[in-house]
Amino acid sequence: MNTLRSLDLVVLAVYFLGVAWIGVRFARRQTSTETYFVAGRSIPAWAMGISTFATLISSITFIAYPGSAYAGNWSELVPGFMVVAVLAVVGAVIIPFFRQSVGMSAYEYFGHRFGYGARAYSALAFTAGHFSKMGFVLYLLSLIAHSMTGWNLYTVLLVVGIVTVAYTLFGGLEAVIWTDVVQGIVMWIGVAVVLGFLVYLMPGGIGKGVELARDQGKFSLGNGAFDLADRTSIWVMSLYGMLWYLQKYAADQTIVQRYLVAKSDREAIKGVAFGALLCVPVWTLFMLIGTLLWSYYQLSGEALPAALTDKAGKVMADKVFPHFLITHIPEGIAGLIIAAVFAAGMSTLSSDLNCLSAVGVEDYYRKLRPDASDRRRLIVGKIIVGVCGLLAVGIGALIAWKSERVLTLYYAVSSIVSGGLAGIFLLAFLSKRANRNGVWAGIIVNLLFTAWATLTSGKNRMFDLGEWNFPWAGVMIGVCGHVIVLVVGWLASIMMPADAPVRDEWTLQGWLRRRNR
């Protein structure tokens, strides 16, 4: 097993001390929930944009994207392209709408539109989905550290978890955003350095590597056939990406909370656009790294060690990138790359922890204790950060017991547990006829569908119902869930009278009238 060299360890130590210092630096300013959860609404657009970028680029991206490209093609990149299409709608309508309609929680809007029950459900769906993501992020951080150094995987889980929880707990969202800025810059440098070394080391030059990969179809974006059962279909991944990023930008606390920290609507729009436009080239570069890694090992004839193969003798693609880093990157530079991997994971974790805390305080604690002081809510928020961080470490340890293609499993899990949030938002925002009875009909049908599809899909399905199994690709479960909530909710709203008057100021039409007055 490899071990890190002295200069690499120094670089990592400087990184960890730096993010810890930022947490301490902002700790004294966390005297209210306004500061702790929305950073006093004073963050400049460029910092907000880098923070959004750092939040979306996790260790899942850093390791699993190259692993996916190494093992196959670029089909996993297709969902990322959909962020541009979604952004056009987000910038024009959704960002200013949320900034005028909610205080700190995205799910406050669902409460305005459909009552507290819908607000509580959507907050719970967000929480469940992000707990699963945090576990994957921590698992991948531990995997790369273990692959490179031989450090105990569970020890890394604990150490990274404690450091991340500490600066998030004490420094609030201000510390999260400014550590995101540092971490985002480190990630960009890391990607550029790795790509540069691959170009330099490629036998026969970069042209030879690209030519070999092209001839083997490694740059393909997938199958063009409209086959919903084929996960490599461009149509399947495009549908998934469109609804995934609509959910992120319209019903995900980690992104909506970024809208609220900006000084103005204009600054918020600029920040979100900057963050999204940073993501697309980085996702592409990660896929290129994986493809060039494949070409390098094909052209060089260098054998991969037995530790990188499974019992069937197949290369475990997610472990190839970490192996390359520690065996081919010079001392000191390798430490920088590992710091970039940690930065990718920790930025996502810290953002999730603060957002889960905001949801816990704003969507649940305020309901249970409406007379609680702001100071008391702040204390509860910090307790939630600590508890959620420890639970995430535990989930990461559970995931470490399984050995699957990380990106495939992540997409399937995240699409299933999303709870139809994009469908709820579209129903609430676009239809004046949608009411509380209708949305609950949509939610219930979606939950029944999701339970059936989840239990009867995949190679390791829990129940085999033969021809009654879910027939399509796993990522389609989430896509169908959003559509079910929207369609069933709208039809049920027509058939069932509203139990309270629908306030159309919370719909697109009503908001546009208010804005144009």
- CATH number of the domain at 191, please: 1.20.1730.10
87, burial (CB in 10 Å: exposed 0-12, middle 13-18, buried 19+):
buried
Q: Are residues 424 and 494 in the same domain?
A: yes
Task: Enumerate residue ranges in the chain where pLDDT < 50.
Answer: 1, 405, 407, 411
Kindly tell me the number of DSSP H helices and DSSP E strands found in the chain. Answer: 23, 0
Query: Whole-angstrom Cα distance, residue 229 to residue 31?
Result: 52
Question: Quick one: pLDDT at residue 219?
Answer: 97
Is residue 247 in a domain?
yes
CA distance 166 to 168: 5
Cβ–Cβ < 8 Å for 151, 145: yes
Q: Let me know whether 161 and 21 are in one domain.
A: yes
Confidence at residue 407, expressed as pLDDT on a 0 to 100 scale: 46
- Residue 35 sits in the same domain as residue 47: yes
Q: Based on the domain organization, do 254 and 112 belong to the same domain?
A: yes
Give the position of tokens 């490179």. Answer: 148
Among 455, 461, 419, residue whose Cα is nearest residue 440: 419
Say if 89 falls within a structural domain. Answer: yes
pLDDT at res. 2: 52
**Residue-level pLDDT at 429:** 95
Same domain? 390 vs 490: no
Structure tokens at 110: 């669902």
CB atoms within 10 A of CB 311: 6
Shared domain check, 386 and 322: yes
Model-level pTM?
Answer: 0.90
As for how many domains the chain has, the answer is 2
At residue 412, the pLDDT reads: 54
- Taking Cα atoms as reference points, which of 317, 4, 5, 6 lies closest to residue 148? 4
Task: Look at residues 418, 435, 467 and tell me which one is the last residue of a structural domain.
Answer: 418
Residue 270 falls within a domain, yes or no?
yes
Same domain, yes or no: 392 and 442 = no
DSSP H or E segment with residue 297: helix 265-300
Last residue of a domain, one of 418, 433, 461: 418
Q: Please report whether residue 265 resides in a domain.
A: yes
54 and 116 fall within a common domain:
yes
In whole angstroms, give the CA distance from residue 246 to residue 85. 9
Contact 223, 229 (CB under 8 A): no
Q: 488 phi and psi, to 5 degrees?
A: -65, -40
In a domain, 343, yes or no: yes
Q: CA-CA distance, 193 to 329, in Å (whole number)?
A: 9
- Packed helices 116-149 and 374-399: angle between N→C axes, nearest 10 degrees: 50
Scanning the structure block, which residue is given the tokens 């962020």? Answer: 83
Q: Which of 418, 446, 478 is the last residue of a domain?
A: 418
* Rounded CA separation 250/97 (Å): 10
Domain assignment present for 1: no
Per-residue confidence (pLDDT) for residue 1, from 0 to 100:
41
- Amino acid identity for residue 249 in this structure: Y
% of the chain residues with pLDDT over 90: 59
Identify whether residues 378 and 464 lie together within a single domain: no
Same domain, 221 and 89: yes
Same domain? For 365 and 514 the reply is: no
8-state DSSP, 516? H
| Domain, as residue range, for 504 | 419-517
Residues 464 and 396 in one domain: no
